[in-house]
Amino acid sequence: MEILAFGVTADERPLLERAFAGQHEVRCLDVFLSEDTAPIAAGYEVVSSSVNADLSGRVLRILAAGGTKLIAQRSTGFNNIDLDVARQLGMTVSRVSAYSPYSVAEFAWALALAVNRRIVRASIRTRDFDFRLNGLMGRDMHGRTAGVLGTGRIGEAFTRIAHGFGMNLLGWDVEHNPACLELGMKYVDKDELFASSDLISLHVPLLESTHHVVDEAALRRMRDDAILVNSSRGGLIDTDALVAHLREGRFTGVGLDVYEAEAGVFFLDKSLEAVEDDTLARLVTFPNVLVTSHQAYYTGDAVAQIIDTTVANVADYLADRRSENTLVPS
């Protein structure tokens, strides 16, 4: 069988081809799956998509009309997939339910430390041989309070690093993680977490209940010198509200690896185009904001695990098996 994989990076391609070698042929495309590119999949029973693919009802219908029966998404999140339409069309949809939590947790900490210690500003200065320290003062993390919104596998990994820094630990989740409790975490409601934390890191999935969990009210509760990090999903933060607070001069730093309107922008080279997103354009101008391009998961270890799980998902589909990765049929 030949599998069509959309949104494959240059680093990912040899890993994907090697993983399927001897089992199936895989055709790798660097373009993302969308309404415009979906017709390319005509004749492919199995299509693999990347995190920013458009798998709305319209796209799914195009794929189904072309003979696609399995969507194997190479990511954990699936808020981009219309599962109801996939079910109506009789399609199977799978995802990667888990991969290295350390890749994302470590990157979240990289963002937190970079904005706290003004690393990007310092690097730009020294490249111009400007070695002044003015404006580069940070603060110790030791003894301060980390608020972890979502304490699953990634949140737990983030918490372990925070514990290593000697921080006080606050958490919020629908379930309490025993490992985090053993580290001394105190579970509180969201309002207290936002009000009491020096550093807030988001590790919850994007669901209807978590959309804009960091809204105007939450931002207003946060300390003026707080640090906010989001390496989960962009829709967790009301970006317009965040920009309004940044314009007031609030927050020591904000580190964002995701953005709620990133589809069609992230993973692409837009350097020679006019910026159409006024909110994103304003966001990146703040000196205390660091925006990266949804790369927290992007380590060799994590990508290899994602690909291995995708291979297993294809094998499960062909054998008519279900696993924890199968979204449809549920």
- Give the catalytic positions in this structure: 233, 262, 294
| Secondary element (H or E) of residue 164 | helix 153-164
β-pairing, 186-187 vs 92-94, is unpaired
Q: What strand order describes the sheet that includes 186-187?
A: 186-187, 168-172, 145-149, 199-202, 227-230, 253-256, 289-291
Supply 309's token pair: 């799980």
Supply 131's token pair: 């070695």
- The Cα 263–Cα 235 span in angstroms is 11
Under DSSP, the state recorded for 33 is P
Q: Over the range 36-75, which residues count as b (16 or more CB within 10 Å of their CB) and which as e? A: ebbebbeebbbbbbbbbbbbeeebbbbbbebebebbbbbb
Q: Are 164 and 172 in contact (CB under 8 A)?
A: no
- When computed from its CA atoms, the radius of gyration of the chain, rounded to whole angstroms, is 21
Q: What DSSP string describes 226-242?
A: -EEEE-S-GGGB-HHHH
For 33-91, list the strands marked E by DSSP: 46-49, 70-73
CA distances from 66 to 43, 253, 286 (A): 6, 47, 46
